[in-house]
């Protein structure tokens, strides 16, 4: 397989010299048609531009399906693709010079004023150096150059004083920290406010060739326009290092390299994504800057030759005719491999350049075809939407800024004649983002010079004319008329002839039907040349090798099967957020009521257990357990929650069978022994595309399910509930990102205890305030949620950075807390964030000894927090003593650490000379009796203070013993620590 390589015929400057005398073929276009298409292309741009300005500005992008703005850090993250966004009105800046190309000076004036007024870069956001340079720095520079150019030509924009150039310099300066590497090759990303000091960039080390090699035009232009050489020097150093790392035999460069060592991380080469614009900028840097070294490097690898350009363009156009748009990637036999099309401009750019080079109206017809596809398949009421898959035509809520900066610009230029434009584009070079930089930069030193209105003046400058000329011109044309048509003619129906026969293939197995536990399915996969490997967490890996297939038809079906699997995987990832669910049940242990809650995986079908939706029922096992055939105990299923096992048939098939027999819900147990939410990624059970099930289905890993199965063995009439996972907004008392949760509740004032997650292992307890519906409702010791967290999983570098930010947020929350309840909630978040930090850094739970640092830090923070308001400490040590102990115990499971912290807090309370009545509370009647004789003045001698401390300590210890007994905790420090470490 290979990905699509877009042909980019880069000779975008001085285009008039490329035109040859070619007779018009049958593809001729009338002047009336050309004008109509030019105006339609302009209307398309304004439909997108106006939609953005009306519905999204000043955000970076418009979401055309929802007709909403896309803000960085506000809308759901899309991963690395969002590194293009910086909350700096990207689409408007990227579109500035398109307004000039369209001849709209009035709107260009208005847009410039908006940019100057609204756009700033002092944002704490990590952005792509490459994208920010080509889109924002390039857009600002082009806007500046054209503003001065229009002022010279037409006297427009008299108010403009170079503000955009100042902004471009500010932004580029913020990118400079990325260049501080041993090689001079810039990091891929940088924080606009903090440079490389952002926690998210601590592990930055790799970048792509295009990312480092597509900076020279913008940075050199900035240096020559401002007189500050640092930008051009940095960009040139990066290019020089890339060239020094080339393969000496072929002069080719790889795709990804280490910015510190210069070593190649990916050695594959080509002209596709990750490399393409590096070669583009070598040639354009020569044209714009007049440096022969750039041309020499370009000529060692590529040479301008129109014949392969025509051939490749024709092949790609035939692919477009099959699918309306060019997919992101297709195979060598022209089958769609990656069907997405975000309305990219590269093919239109190549069409425009080939038309300039050949004057063949055929390319006008190609442009018309693209225009019609955009209008029919991408137009939406709020702009133009990207296509998620060219095979289905389904839209994606995305309209990238390059659609306005490049796609519509090249479409308009294709149908426009030079006389239709208010500027002479032959005086400019187009950057990779189609921004216009003046060719006069070749003769600039450090002065802001823009093209003059008299083309004859520059024509007399032989150096500038040489700078505009492209190399290898004698290779471009064979010196005959209609040569483009003669090149295309042999390629007619090329794609159709190469593509596999359209005969109907009788499918034996589709990806949506596949079950890893089905022996027949496994046999069919082997026939197709697909090998399968089971992973420890129950997932499977598939590998297709055509040569291993039983027949050519089996090999073809294997390819289709793999493609379907890829699409199924994508669809599952694109499913709307489907958070975890829980299975909860109540049982009697030693005469006390215990409610156990286990995290469960959701299903993408059936009843949605969101919010308060809950299903309850008596639990029963299916027989046979996998429930893929008729059940032997179907009479026991009605109105029950049925336990079934994964395997042999699809999840949704099991659900349909249960619903037919009258079940109210189902619990699917994993069929791989030993799996748990602690060690395996949770997933959502997928359906088959038809959601005709109305009962809920949840998934439990096998180790987690043992809790349920053991309870069912002891209590055959066990009742369970299926419900939503209790996530809440930060600060409301929830504990996020838990893997196994056990909730301790109480009824009628009964005390409860927490079940152990594993035999002999003490649960890691976090107690927090469970806020009630009414804000003024009292919170007692029974209003608790107790959570059990399993062993910490391995954390990625990104997670470690996120934990640091989470820690800072928790610290601020603790500082801003105004009540004992808020302090406790903030303390839980603080302890969680610190422990996540320590585990991620490998400081605890790996060395064999728990850390005392966190409880010491928390103790200090609590003392500091309550020093100015003694009533807060009073409340913590009385009304909320049980919650406080649980938080401190979470900070360190060591009994000695817990006692030490409580002792320090008690000393603080004594030092503040509080009355012993602070411990008065309905739960502390024994305390009230013991301390009644102490209710005198808080002032007294040292002995009185000592007595007070002793009495307070005795009360505290009494409460500690009581609470420990509830949780069956030992008071032996060593034994307790040993159990924790286990």
Does the pLDDT value for residue 14 go beyond 60? no
Domain's final residue, options 666, 691, 724: 724
| 957-969 CB burial, b ≥16 within 10 A, e <16 | eebbeebbebbeb
Please report the sign of the dihedral spanned by the C-alpha atoms of residue 350, residue 355, residue 360, residue 365. positive
3 state DSSP class of 228: coil
Confidence at residue 608, expressed as pLDDT on a 0 to 100 scale: 86
Question: Residue 348's CB: how many other CB atoms inside 10 A?
Answer: 24
Say yes or no: 827 and 713 in one domain: no
CA proximity to 127, closest of 80, 78, 179, 76: 80
pTM for this model (two decimals): 0.54
Confidence at residue 463, expressed as pLDDT on a 0 to 100 scale: 44
Strands (E), 373-457: 379-380, 383-384, 386-387, 395-396, 428-430, 436-438
Q: Residue 596: in which H helix or E strand, if any?
A: strand 592-600
The most confident of 446-455, 467-476, 849-858, by mean pLDDT: 849-858
Instruction: Summarize pLDDT for 874-920 with one digit per residue, the tens.
Output: 777 776 777 787 787 777 766 677 777 777 777 776 665 444 433 33
Does residue 272 sit within a domain?
A: no
Q: At what angle do helices 346-358 and 306-323 cross, to 10 degrees?
A: 130
**Cα gap 309→316, rounded to integer Å:** 11
Share of the chain above pLDDT 70, in %: 72
Say yes or no: 827 and 858 in one domain: yes
Range of the domain at 831: 798-901
Alpha helices in 489-598 (DSSP H): 494-498, 519-527, 552-574
**Cα gap 234→212, rounded to integer Å:** 10
Instruction: Summarize pLDDT for 694-714 with one digit per residue, the tens.
Output: 999 999 988 889 889 988 998
Say yes or no: 662 and 716 in one domain: yes
pLDDT (average), residues 364-390: 95
Q: Which residues are catalytic?
A: 131, 276, 328, 346
CA proximity to 457, closest of 473, 443, 446, 436: 443
Say yes or no: 586 and 717 in one domain: yes
pLDDT (average), residues 731-740: 30
Say yes or no: 647 and 540 in one domain: no
Q: What are φ and ψ of residue 700, in 5° steps?
A: -120, 135
Higher-pLDDT residue of 478, 979: 478
Instruction: Summarize pLDDT for 655-691 with one digit per residue, the tens.
Output: 999 999 999 999 999 888 888 877 677 778 877 767 7
Q: Which single residue is written with the structure tokens 């400057």? A: 13
Mean pLDDT of the chain: 77
Q: Which single residue is written with the structure tokens 């302009």? A: 42
Q: What is the CATH number of the domain that holds 599?
A: 3.50.30.30
Confidence category of residue 204, pLDDT binned at 50, 70, 90: confident
3 state DSSP class of 834: helix
Confidence at residue 833, expressed as pLDDT on a 0 to 100 scale: 79
**Cα gap 163→113, rounded to integer Å:** 10
Confidence at residue 595, expressed as pLDDT on a 0 to 100 scale: 83
Total domains, the chain = 3
Does residue 251 sit within a domain?
A: no
CA proximity to 782, closest of 904, 963, 584: 963
Q: What are φ and ψ of residue 336, in 5° steps?
A: -65, 125
Say yes or no: 718 and 586 in one domain: yes
**Cα gap 543→539, rounded to integer Å:** 14
Say yes or no: 847 and 804 in one domain: yes
Higher-pLDDT residue of 750, 194: 194
Instruction: Summarize pLDDT for 397-450 with one digit per residue, the tens.
Output: 999 999 999 999 999 999 999 999 999 999 999 999 999 999 998 776 433 433
Can you say how many angstroms the Cα of residue 234 is from the centroid of all Cα atoms in its chain?
Answer: 30
Alpha helices in 28-104 (DSSP H): 31-55, 90-101
Say yes or no: 620 and 712 in one domain: yes
Is residue 22 annotated as involved in ligand binding?
no
**Cα gap 283→8, rounded to integer Å:** 12
Length of the chain (residues): 982
Confidence at residue 159, expressed as pLDDT on a 0 to 100 scale: 96
Largest CA distance in the chain: 115
Confidence at residue 961, expressed as pLDDT on a 0 to 100 scale: 59
Does residue 613 sit within a domain?
A: yes
Does residue 782 sit within a domain?
A: no
Say yes or no: 530 and 585 in one domain: no
Instruction: Summarize pLDDT for 783-826 with one digit per residue, the tens.
Output: 222 222 333 334 455 666 676 777 778 788 888 888 887 888 88
Instruction: Summarize pLDDT for 534-575 with one digit per residue, the tens.
Output: 665 556 677 888 778 888 888 888 888 887 787 766 665 555
Confidence category of residue 480, pLDDT binned at 50, 70, 90: very low
Structure token digits, residue 447: 């002065």
Q: Are 38 and 411 in contact (CB under 8 A)?
A: no
Does the pLDDT value for residue 307 go beyond 70? yes
Beta-bridge mates of residue 257: 207, 264
Beta-bridge mates of residue 591: none
Does the pLDDT value for residue 18 go beyond 70? no
Can you say how many angstroms the Cα of residue 274 is from the centroid of all Cα atoms in its chain?
Answer: 19
Domain's final residue, options 879, 901, 923: 901
Confidence at residue 950, expressed as pLDDT on a 0 to 100 scale: 56
**Cα gap 135→832, rounded to integer Å:** 40
Does residue 568 sit within a domain?
A: yes
Say yes or no: 715 and 586 in one domain: yes
Does residue 434 sit within a domain?
A: no
Higher-pLDDT residue of 888, 766: 888
Does residue 882 sit within a domain?
A: yes
Instruction: Summarize pLDDT for 59-87 with one digit per residue, the tens.
Output: 999 999 999 999 998 888 888 899 999 99
Q: Average the pLDDT over each of 14-28, 143-157, 170-184, 336-350 and give the range with the smallest value.
A: 14-28
Higher-pLDDT residue of 648, 475: 648
CA proximity to 649, closest of 633, 625, 673: 625
**Cα gap 644→771, rounded to integer Å:** 36
Say yes or no: 524 and 658 in one domain: no
Does residue 468 sit within a domain?
A: no
Phi-psi region of 14 (alpha: psi -120 to 50; beta: other; left: phi over 0): left
| 159-182 CB burial, b ≥16 within 10 A, e <16 | ebeebbbebbbebbebbbbbbebe
Domain's final residue, options 901, 925, 941: 901
Q: Residue 587: in which H helix or E strand, if any?
A: strand 581-589
Say yes or no: 603 and 690 in one domain: yes
pLDDT (average), residues 843-861: 61
Does the pLDDT value for residue 751 go beyond 90? no
């Amino acid at each position: 397989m290979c990905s699509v390589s877009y042909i980019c015929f880069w000779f975008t400057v001085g285009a008039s010299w490329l035109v040859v005398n070619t007779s018009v073929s049958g593809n001729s276009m009338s002047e009336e048609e050309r004008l109509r298409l030019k105006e339609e292309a302009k209307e398309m741009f304004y439909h997108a531009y106006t939609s953005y300005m009306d519905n999204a500005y000043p955000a970076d992008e418009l979401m055309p399906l929802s007709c909403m703005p896309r803000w960085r850090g506000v809308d759901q993250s899309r991963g690395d693709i969002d590194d293009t966004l910086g909350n700096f009105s990207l689409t408007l800046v990227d579109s500035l010079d398109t307004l000039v190309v369209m001849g709209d000076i009035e709107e260009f004036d208005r847009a410039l004023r908006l940019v100057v007024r609204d756009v700033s870069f002092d944002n704490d956001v990590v952005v792509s150096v490459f994208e920010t340079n080509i889109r924002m720095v390039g857009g600002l520079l082009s806007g500046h150059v054209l503003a001065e150019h229009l002022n010279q030509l037409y006297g427009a924009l008299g108010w403009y004083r170079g503000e955009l150039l100042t902004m471009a310099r500010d932004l580029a300066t913020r990118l400079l920290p990325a260049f501080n590497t041993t090689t001079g090759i810039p990091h891929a990303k940088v924080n606009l406010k903090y440079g490389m000091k952002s926690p998210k960039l601590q592990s930055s080390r790799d970048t792509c060739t295009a990312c480092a090699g597509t900076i020279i035009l913008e940075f050199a232009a900035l240096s020559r326009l401002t007189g500050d050489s640092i930008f051009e020097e940095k960009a040139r150093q990066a290019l020089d290092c890339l060239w020094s790392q080339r393969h000496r035999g072929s002069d080719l460069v790889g795709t990804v390299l280490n910015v510190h060592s210069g070593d190649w991380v990916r050695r594959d080469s080509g002209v596709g994504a990750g490399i393409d614009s590096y070669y583009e900028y070598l040639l354009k840097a020569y044209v714009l800057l007049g440096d022969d070294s750039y041309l020499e490097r370009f000529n060692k690898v590529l040479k301008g030759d129109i014949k392969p350009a025509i051939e490749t363009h024709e092949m790609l156009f035939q692919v477009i005719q099959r699918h309306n748009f060019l997919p992101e990637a297709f195979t060598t036999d022209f089958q769609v491999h990656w069907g997405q099309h975000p309305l990219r401009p590269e093919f239109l750019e190549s069409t425009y350049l080939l038309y300039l080079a050949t004057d063949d109206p055929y390319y006008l017809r190609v442009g018309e075809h693209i225009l019609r596809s955009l209008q029919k398949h991408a137009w939406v009421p709020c702009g133009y939407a990207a296509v998620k898959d060219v095979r289905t035509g389904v839209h994606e809520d995305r309209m990238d800024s390059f659609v306005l900066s490049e796609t519509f610009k090249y479409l308009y230029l294709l149908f426009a004649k030079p006389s239709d434009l208010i500027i002479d584009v032959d005086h400019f070079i187009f950057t990779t983002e189609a921004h216009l930089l003046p060719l006069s930069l070749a003769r600039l030193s450090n002065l802001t010079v823009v093209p003059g209105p008299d083309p004859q003046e520059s024509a007399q400058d032989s150096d500038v004319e040489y700078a505009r000329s492209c190399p290898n011109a004698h290779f471009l044309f064979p010196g005959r008329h209609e040569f483009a048509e003669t090149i295309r003619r042999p390629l007619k129906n090329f794609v159709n002839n190469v593509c596999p026969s359209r005969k109907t293939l009788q499918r034996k197995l589709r990806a949506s039907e596949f079950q890893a536990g089905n022996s027949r399915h496994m046999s069919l996969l082997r026939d197709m040349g697909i090998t399968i490997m089971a992973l420890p967490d129950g997932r499977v890996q598939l590998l297709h090798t055509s040569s291993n297939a039983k027949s050519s038809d089996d090999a073809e079906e294997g390819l289709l099967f793999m493609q379907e699997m890829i699409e199924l995987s994508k669809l599952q990832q694109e499913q709307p957020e489907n958070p975890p669910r829980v299975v909860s049940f109540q049982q009697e242990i030693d005469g006390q009521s215990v409610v156990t809650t286990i995290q469960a995986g959701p299903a993408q079908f059936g009843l949605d257990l969101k919010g308060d939706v809950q299903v309850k029922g008596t639990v029963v096992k299916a027989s046979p357990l996998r429930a893929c055939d008729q059940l032997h105990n179907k009479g026991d299923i009605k109105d029950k929650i049925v336990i079934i096992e994964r395997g042999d048939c699809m999840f949704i098939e099991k659900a349909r069978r249960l619903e037919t027999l009258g079940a109210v819900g189902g619990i699917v147990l994993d069929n791989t022994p030993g799996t748990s939410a602690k060690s395996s990624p949770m997933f959502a059970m997928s359906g088959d595309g038809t959601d005709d099930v109305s009962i809920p289905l949840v998934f439990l890993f096998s180790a987690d399910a043992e809790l349920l199965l053991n309870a069912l063995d002891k209590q055959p009439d066990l009742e369970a509930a299926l419900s939503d996972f209790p996530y809440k907004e930060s600060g409301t008392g929830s504990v996020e990102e838990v893997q196994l949760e056990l909730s301790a509740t109480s009824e009628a004032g009964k005390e409860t205890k927490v079940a152990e997650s594993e035999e002999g292992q003490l649960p890691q307890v976090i107690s927090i305030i469970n806020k009630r519906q009414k804000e003024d409702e009292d919170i007692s010791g029974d209003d608790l949620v107790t959570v059990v967290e399993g062993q910490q999983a391995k954390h990625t570098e990104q997670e470690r950075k996120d934990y640091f930010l989470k820690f800072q947020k928790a610290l601020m929350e603790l500082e801003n807390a105004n009540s004992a309840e808020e302090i406790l909630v903030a303390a839980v978040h603080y302890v969680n964030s610190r422990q996540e930090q320590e585990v991620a850094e490998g400081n605890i739970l790996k060395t064999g000894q728990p850390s005392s640092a966190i409880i010491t830090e928390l103790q200090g923070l609590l003392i500091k927090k309550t020093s100015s308001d003694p009533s807060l400490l009073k409340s913590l040590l009385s009304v909320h003593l049980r919650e406080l102990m649980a938080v401190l115990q979470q900070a360190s499971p060591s009994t000695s650490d817990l006692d030490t912290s409580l002792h320090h807090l008690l000393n603080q309370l004594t030092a503040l000379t509080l009355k012993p009545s602070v411990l008065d509370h309905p739960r502390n009647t024994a305390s009230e009796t013991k301390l009644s004789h102490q209710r005198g003045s808080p002032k007294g001698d040292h002995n009185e203070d000592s007595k007070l401390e002793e009495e307070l300590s005795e009360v505290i210890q009494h409460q500690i013993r009581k609470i420990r007994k509830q949780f069956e905790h030992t008071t032996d420090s060593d034994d307790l620590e040993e159990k924790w470490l286990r």
